[in-house]
Structure 1
Amino acid sequence: MNRRVDNTNSFKNKLQGVNKIGLLSRLGMCGKKSSKFFYIMSSIHIVIVIIQASGKLPVEFRAVTGIFEIGLSITLSYHFGYMGMFQSLITNGLASIRLYAISNQIRAVLASEAGHLTGNLRIIANSAPGLLVNLSAARIAVMIVSIMVAYSYEQERKYINKLEWLACVDGVTGAYNHRYFQTKLEEEINNARYRSSSLAMVMIDVDNFKKYNDTHGHIAGDRLLLKTAEIFMEEAREQDIVCRYGGDEFAILMPDIDSKGILSMIERIRKKFIGFLDTEEICLHKCGISISAGYSIYPKLARDKDDLIMQADSALYQAKNMGRNNVRIYRDVFEDIKTFFNSDERQLLGGLRALLGTVSAKDKYTLGHSERVMDYAVRIGKAMGLGSERLRLLKIAALLHDIGKVEISETILNKTEPLTSSEIKILRRHPMYSVDILEPLSSIEMLIDSIKYHHERFDGKGYPTGRKGKEIPLEARILCVADAFDAMLSDRPYRKGMKMNDVLSELRSNSGTQFDPETVKAFLNTFDTDFDSVSCVELN
């Protein structure tokens, strides 16, 4: 327990050092206003002190200005702490010394030249030095009050700073919390816009954290998150901002950086994280722990704050569904394919993009799934020697193959229990719904057929028509393999994704029944080693 407290304190110190720019900038406007107020108050105070010291004012006015001078001394200490106190000590200290010196001078004059005075004049003369000594003591009292007021202010300020800190920092990891992340992201976006610079957002997730947490308990899980945050803090630049986004997800805001710098930082994090997993503390309980990351960059890819979050999150989701333990940059696949269409077809593409966005809103899995199927399909198509035109149409077909799900109820798409027979029938209509939606592109027969028949099986037991073998267009057979491959690999509301080697084994065992053997063979040949041993950093 003590070790955890020590670690948390060390994180606090690191955050104060590494990310102090972030925390202070949030209070920067307040600080500027406070400094301006201090300069105004100090200037007035100094002017009054100079006027008082000149002796040019009548005694009556000097008494009034003296009240203002003492009031400003205490006010400076109250509002500005030790900084105001030092000015109060200097001015009141000098005044106290001067008043005491004058009292001694008067006493000397009275002793040598005022011995002839009698009666009330003698009493008044004898009282004058004492009055000045009392005024000198009053200035010392003001100095003491200034010290007490300044001390009270500083203690209050420390307490407020502590509350500010607690409001901005996650209690488990010591990283900034989600509340601060939202505030800071808005500021950094505005700064990037003002300076015409960039802002990258990296989303990092601890793979299989829930399993580790459930197996070894929340204390062990918190310790893992704590160490993970420490690694992020150590490898981040001074201007970077490390936040716990939620659960086992972290977000790092990185101003003025390109993809090369981002990947370099993530690679350093990955190596240090792997080293941590090999320590005695955790090596016996890894539970498949690794890290996946996704990132995007404003304004190169994202248009605003919400866009940046969505894109980084989407890239992370893709990284995790590519088998975890890798990193992905967000990409807009519609930008990739729009050059394949003429001007009239591009207008249609805009509508299809909106429809696919609607599907994605109903089922987050679908859009990322379509993008991944596109990558796998192109990978298979290249392995099977398809020409550039067929690869182009295959790419479009893969992206749009599930667009018919826009007609399917959200309750069916996201149902966690087994579907009923009637619900299965509804879901199996989506290839025909896709064909209806894509009717304006019906002149591209291969594109439509690829989408229409991608759920047919090689043994004829598929849908919607029951075609089999080579009756199924090759592109549809390719989509069938790519679609099933990603579906087995991905987490769904009703089940966890399978491990890569298990997915590859499933493809082998169903080759010749569900899947075209030639397509499966071509796809498997693209894996020259077990997927789990592939480098964690894969670029699009």
Structure 2
Amino acid sequence: MHKFKKSREERICKIISSVKLISLFFYAIIIFSRCNFLYTKNSKIYIQYNIITAFISITLLILIYEGWILFLKNNQICIKTLRIIDIIEILIFIAIVSILIFISGGYLSNYKFLFLFIIITSTIQFGMKCGTYVSAIGSIFILGVDILSMLLNTVNKYFETDLILSGVFVLTSWLLGYYVKVENEYREQLADLVNKDELTGVYNHRFFQDSLTRGIAQCKKENSTIALLFIDIDHFKYYNDLYGHQKGDYVLREIGCILKNNIRDKDIVARYGGEEFAVILPRTSEGEAFLVGERIRSKIEEYEFEGEEHLPNGKLTVSIGVSYFPEKSKNKEELINSADDALYRAKFFNKNRVEIYYSILEELKGDIEDKHIDLISSIKTLISVINAKDRYTYGHTERVVIYCDLLADKLGLSEEEKKILRYGAYLHDIGKIHIPQELLNKKMPLTNDEWNILKKHSENGVEIIKTVDSLKNVIPLILHHHEKYDGTGYPNGLKGDKIPYLTRILTVADSFDAMTSNRPYKSRKSYNEAIEELKKYSSIQFDSAIVDAFIEVININKHVFEKVR
């Protein structure tokens, strides 16, 4: 739609320029006819010289104007400045026509109609109001010249004709202006049909994509920022199932209105899909975007939706993810993915909250060699792909990082060990990028062949990061996090203390979260059931000392972790 609009504006600009060029041609004819360039009694050569001079002068006049148009087109002048230039141009044309009418006979001039060219171009450019002003100026001028001639006791037989011509000026500006107005309104209605979501009244997904593309291009040009909010309605499926789709549509419409009423004029709110909305915030910092998101979240929480008391939290709320360009992303795809990741973090951790995008990989960039920065960006992209294939992996990774952080404090690890453990917790499932999506989400128990494919993910993960020297200490955590304390694990069947200490910590946190998470093929265990499972397999699958420490951490923070679910 944006391309169509731009193409249309270019074509209209060409039409206006053509009309102005025609009027310039008339101006040149008047000038040379009044100067008597074509008249001489003695020399045919002189006549030919003046004809050539006239032709060259007209050509130069046209070329100068074309050069002016080309200059405006190639120099990215802001719209406000361009509008001022256009108005000045109109005034210059009015002045030129007025002077030409004077030099071509004043009230006797046959060129009063030239005001029509200015009326037509100004009305097409700026609408009925501007066209009416120009027609009024032209009418006042030619009638003023007529009245002046009559005050000088000159018989003016053209006055009635000029009155009619003035009427033609006004009628032309009104009719053409009305047509332009109707055409613009019709075009806006068509744009709304194309760009707006019919249910919610906000912009649709296609308009969002186009706007974000243009916004990022503008940021690169201006060296500015653009923020993005992703908004998802909490427990919307539950609400839909409980009350039906009509009530669900009512919620979507109301939230659309709340969003439109709580953003700035320059911001763009769109329905991204289903119960998910997006807000584009041009020239906005991360902190400002967070405040906008928090304002939206609180307004929706305060709004009283019918039947919300039966939802899990007793209120209909939203979760919001925030990211921005260029600090947290390098292109449109990264911006969308990072905002989406922040949203899912908000969904996994408590809901009804605003989360700013954060990646451990951003922290990791400060610890690795410059030559491997691109690889870290690639790893970031791979993790986004894994998240899209298997949402369990995303929430699982985030929770395992939190468990590992708490357990590291309990066990008194050094800062360097904490950092290695955190990186390992974040990257331990990166090898799943090579696992087919249908296998990751299979609802039936895996076959032996499928299980063997899945077990390869630890070795695949090592292959991805092994070239990064700064991550060498993380390799054992990725490779061995499925080893068992009794030596029956994979891929190398390591036993007891042969399994690296940090890896044994990760294994406990990883297994606990797997037990307390819903998977396609099994239901989650309660925290108490999972704790009993850890005790049962202590010294068999897990290091007993680490299990004891972990159970203490869980019991202390159980009320917090339960809210995460």
Tell me the TM-score normalised to structure 1 length: 0.72
Q: Does 1:164 align with 2:188?
A: no
Equivalent residue number for residue 121 of structure 1: none
CA distance in 2: counterparts of 1:59 and 1:338, whole angstroms: 78
TM superposition shift of 1:225: 1.9
Residue of structure 2 in register with 1:383 after alignment? 410
State the one-letter code of the partner of 2:527.
L
Question: In structure 2, what residue type is equivalent to 1:153?
Answer: V
Counterpart for residue 11 of structure 1: none
**C-alpha deviations, 1:332-352, integer Å up to 9, x for none?**
4234235556x5xx8678657
State the SS of the aligned residue for 1:512: helix
Q: What's the RMSD between the two structures over aligned residues? A: 4.3
Q: Could you report, residue by residue, the CA deviation over 1:9-39 in whole angstroms, capped at 9, with x for unpaired residues?
A: xxxxxxxxxxxxxxxxxx9967866664454
Structure 1 position 386, deviation (Å) = 2.7
SS in 1 for 2:299: helix
* Equivalenced residues, count: 477
User: Within 2, Cα distance between the matches of 1:37 and 1:519?
Assistant: 76
1:175 and 2:222 correspond: no
Match of 1:66 among 112, 130, 149: 112
- Residues 460 and 326 from structure 1, CA distance in 2 versus in 1: closer, same or farther, beyond 3 angstroms? farther
Structure-1 residue corresponding to 2:131: 84
**Residue 518 (structure 1) aligned to one of 529, 542, 548:** 548
Instruction: Pick one of 271, 284, 306 that aligns with 1:281.
Output: 306
Secondary structure of 2:277's aligned partner: strand
Query: Match of 1:86, as an amino acid?
Result: Y
1:297 and 1:313 map into 2 onto residues whose CA distance is 12
* Distance 1:133-1:443 versus aligned 2 partners, 3 A rule: closer
Alignment correspondent of 2:335: 308
Deviations 1:307-365 (A, max 9, x none): 22222222223332335333332234234235556x5xx86786577467446535634
> Does the 8 Å contact 2:297/2:319 carry over to 1?
no
Residue 508 of structure 1 pairs with residue 526 of structure 2: no
Whole-angstrom distance in 1 between the partners of 2:194 and 2:443: 37
Summarize the alignment of residues 164-203 of structure 1 with structure 2, pairs less than 5 Å apart. 164-203=191-230
Aligned to 1:125: none
Q: Aligned to 1:236, what secondary structure does the other structure show?
A: coil
2:364 corresponding residue in structure 1: 337
For residues 403 and 313 of structure 1, the distance between their equivalents in structure 2, rounded to whole angstroms, comes to 18
Alignment check: 8 A CA contact 1:460 1:466 kept: yes
Q: CA deviation at 1:84?
A: 1.1
Counterpart contact for 1:458–1:514, Cα < 8 Å: no
Matched, 1:234 2:273: no
Task: Between 520-529 and 95-104, report the one with greater CA deviation.
Answer: 95-104
TM-score using structure 2 length: 0.70
Counterpart-to-counterpart distance in 1, 2:379 and 2:197: 39
User: Is 2:325 the partner of 1:298?
Assistant: yes
> Measured at CA, do residues 157 and 488 of structure 1 come closer, stay the same or move farther in structure 2, by a change above 3 Å?
farther
Greater mean deviation of Cα atoms: 354-363 or 391-400: 354-363
1:423-474 deviations in whole A, cap 9, x for unaligned?
A: 0232123335556777789999985554444335678875557778888665
- Counterpart in the other structure of 1:480: 507
The one-character-per-residue Cα deviations of 1:79-112 (angstroms, maximum 9, x if unpaired) are 4322112220342255347647867997xx99xx
- How far 1:512 sits from its partner (Å)? 1.6
- Kindly indicate whether the alpha-carbon contact (under 8 Å) linking 1:401 and 1:451 is maintained by their aligned counterparts in 2: yes
CA deviations over 1:179-233 (Å, ceiling 9, x no partner):
3333333343344444443322222222222332343233222221222233333
Tell me which of the two structures has the higher relative contact order, counting C-alpha pairs closer than 8 angstroms and 6 or more residues apart: 1
Alpha carbons 1:319, 1:328 under 8 Å: kept? yes
2:548 aligned partner, one-letter code: E
Q: Gaps spanning 5+ residues in structure 2: where?
A: 1-75
Does 2:247 correspond to 1:223?
no
CA contact (8 A) 2:367 2:470 kept: no
Letter in 1 for 2:311: K
Which position in structure 1 is the counterpart of 2:181?
154
Q: Is the 8 A contact 2:230 2:321 kept in 1?
A: yes
In 2: Cα distance, 1:489 partner to 1:93 partner: 85
Is residue 232 of structure 2 the alignment partner of residue 208 of structure 1? no
Q: Which amino acid aligns with 2:352?
A: N
